[in-house]
Amino acid sequence: MKEFILNNGIKIPAVGVGVFRVEDANIASETVKTALSVGYRHIDTAMIYGNEEAVGKAIKDSGVRRQEIFLTTKLWNDDQRSGKVQEAIDASLKRLGTDYIDLYLVHWPVKESYVSIWKKMEEVYKSGKAKAIGVSNYNTHHLDDLLKEAEIVPAVNQIECYPYLTQESVVKYCKEKGIHPQAWGPLGAGQSDVLSNPVVVEIAKKHGKSPAQVVLRWNVERGVIVIPKSVHKARLIENLSIDDFKLTGEEAKQINALNKNLRLGADPETFNF
Ligand SMILES: NC(=O)c1ccc[n+]([C@@H]2O[C@H](COP(=O)([O-])OP(=O)(O)OC[C@H]3O[C@@H](n4cnc5c(N)ncnc54)[C@H](OP(=O)(O)O)[C@@H]3O)[C@@H](O)[C@H]2O)c1
C-alpha cells in the first residue's frame, strides 16, 4: 500500500478511511473493524463526529496492533476558542483508548485563534501526545499567517478536494512549504455527480476500474492523501484498491479540467460554527 512521508519523517498511508456522519456507534465500530480487516491502516475521525469511542473500541477489537495504525483526530472549534487544547486532546485520547494520536489537526481556521492556537498545538507535539500536528480547511492566507509565527511547520493541511474543486493553488502552496495536502470529500461526499461524470466514467472504463477508484487515484498521483468514507465492505475494498493502475498525463489533465471551484462543504472564509 502506498505511503507518503510527512515533514517530520513519519509515514502516512496514502489512503485512509473517514468516518464523518457515521454517528451510530455500532456502525462506526463495524466500519472501522471492517476497514482494518480488509487492509486499511489509516483512520480519520474528529471529536465533533461523536464516534471516537466507537473508533477506539474497533481498534482494540480488531486485533491489529496500535502501532500499525495511523490515527487522526481533530481539535474542535469550541476548544480552539477556549484555548483548552491539552484538555481536548486528553479527552480524545481517553475516548479513543490510546495514549497518542498519529496526527492531530486544528479542524477549522477560527478567525480569532487560527494562528495563536498553533503554539498550543506545538506543545501537544512536544509532549508526545501527537506524532504529527497539522491543520484543516486552511487557505493560503491562513497558512501564511500561521507560518510567520510557527516553530513547527504543519505536517498536513486537510482540505475539501475532488475533481470539481481541485484546489490547485492550496495544493501547490502546501507542497512548496512542506505541508502535505490531504483531501476530504474526495468522492464528492455523496452529494455530487462527479462519479457519473462522462470524463471520469470513460477513464474508468479504459482502466477497468470504477469512477471512485479513478478520482482517488488522481488525487494520490498528484501527491494528495485521500480519506474516502464508506460504511460498506465492498466499497471499502474498492476505495483501497488503487495501486494497480496509473493515469496517463492526458487523463490527469482531463480530470484537472473538471474543476469548477464547487464546494460541497462549508467555506473556510465564511463558516459560522
Ligand atoms: N476536515 C474537515 O473539515 C472534514 C470535512 C468533511 C469530511 N472530513 C473527513 O473526510 C472523510 C471523507 O469525506 P466525506 O465522508 O465527506 O465524503 P467522501 O468520502 O467523498 O464520500 C462519501 C460518500 O460516498 C459514498 N461512497 C463511498 N465509496 C463509494 C464508492 N466506491 N462508490 C460510490 N460511492 C461511494 C459513501 O456512501 P456509503 O458510506 O453508503 O458507501 C458516502 O455517501 C470524512 O469521512 C471525514 O473523515 C473532514
Q: What residues does 136 pair with on adjacent strands?
A: 158
Smallest Cα–Cα separation from 103: which of 171, 2, 16, 218?
16
pLDDT score recorded for residue 245 = 98
Ligand 1 pocket check for 185: Cβ under 6 Å: yes
Q: What are the Cα distances from residue 191, in Å, to 156, 165, 185, 186? A: 25, 13, 9, 11
DSSP one-letter code for 126: H
How many beta carbons lie within 10 A of that of residue 9, not counting itself? 9
How many beta carbons lie within 10 A of that of residue 82, not counting itself? 11
Ligand 1 pocket check for 100: Cβ under 6 Å: no
Domain assignment of residue 251, yes or no = no
pLDDT score recorded for residue 55 = 98
Strand, coil or helix: 106: strand
Ligand 1 pocket check for 44: Cβ under 6 Å: yes
Ligand 1 pocket check for 158: Cβ under 6 Å: yes
Interatomic CA distance for residues 31 and 252, integer angstroms: 31
Q: Which of 38, 187, 193, 197 to mutate to test the pocket of ligand 1 (most atoms within 8 A of CB)?
A: 187
Ligand 1 pocket check for 241: Cβ under 6 Å: no
pLDDT score recorded for residue 138 = 98
Cα R_g (the chain), whole angstroms:
18
Nearest CA to ligand 1 atom 36: 230
Domain assignment of residue 269, yes or no = no
Cell numbers linked to 268: 473556510
Residue 199 phi, psi dihedral angles, 5° rounding: -65, -45
Domain assignment of residue 72, yes or no = yes
Nearest CA to ligand 1 atom 37: 230
Q: Could you tell me how many helices (H) and strands (E) the chain has, helices first?
A: 11, 10
Domain assignment of residue 214, yes or no = no
| Residue 160 · residue 185 · CB < 8 Å | yes
pLDDT tens for the 273 residues of the chain, in order: 899 999 999 999 999 999 999 989 999 999 999 999 999 999 999 999 999 999 999 999 999 999 999 999 999 999 999 999 999 999 999 999 999 999 999 999 999 999 999 999 999 999 999 999 999 999 999 999 999 999 999 999 999 999 999 999 999 999 999 999 999 999 999 999 999 999 999 999 999 999 999 999 999 999 999 999 999 999 999 999 999 999 999 999 999 999 999 999 999 999 999
Domain assignment of residue 237, yes or no = yes
Domain assignment of residue 108, yes or no = yes
Question: How many angstroms does the Cα of residue 185 sit away from the middle of ligand 1?
Answer: 5
Nearest CA to ligand 1 atom 39: 230
Domain assignment of residue 138, yes or no = yes
pLDDT score recorded for residue 235 = 98
Cell numbers linked to 68: 500499525
Domain assignment of residue 22, yes or no = yes
Ligand 1 pocket check for 190: Cβ under 6 Å: yes
Interatomic CA distance for residues 246 and 255, integer angstroms: 13
Nearest CA to ligand 1 atom 31: 235
DSSP code string of 3-23: EEE-TTS-EEESB-EE-TT--
Is 100 known to be catalytic? no
How many beta carbons lie within 10 A of that of residue 171, not counting itself? 21
Residue 156 phi, psi dihedral angles, 5° rounding: -145, 145
DSSP code string of 94-121: HHHT-S-BSEEEE-S--TTTTTTHHHHH
Number of domains in the chain: 1
| CATH number, domain with residue 167 | 3.20.20.100
Count how many Cα atoms sit within 13 Å of the Cα of residue 21 in the half-sphere of its side chain.
9
Domain with 169 in it = 3-192+223-245
pLDDT score recorded for residue 1 = 83
Buried b (16+ CB within 10 A) or exposed e, 54-76: bbbbbbeebebebeebbbbbbbb
Q: Which of 40, 49, 114, 162 is catalytic?
A: 49
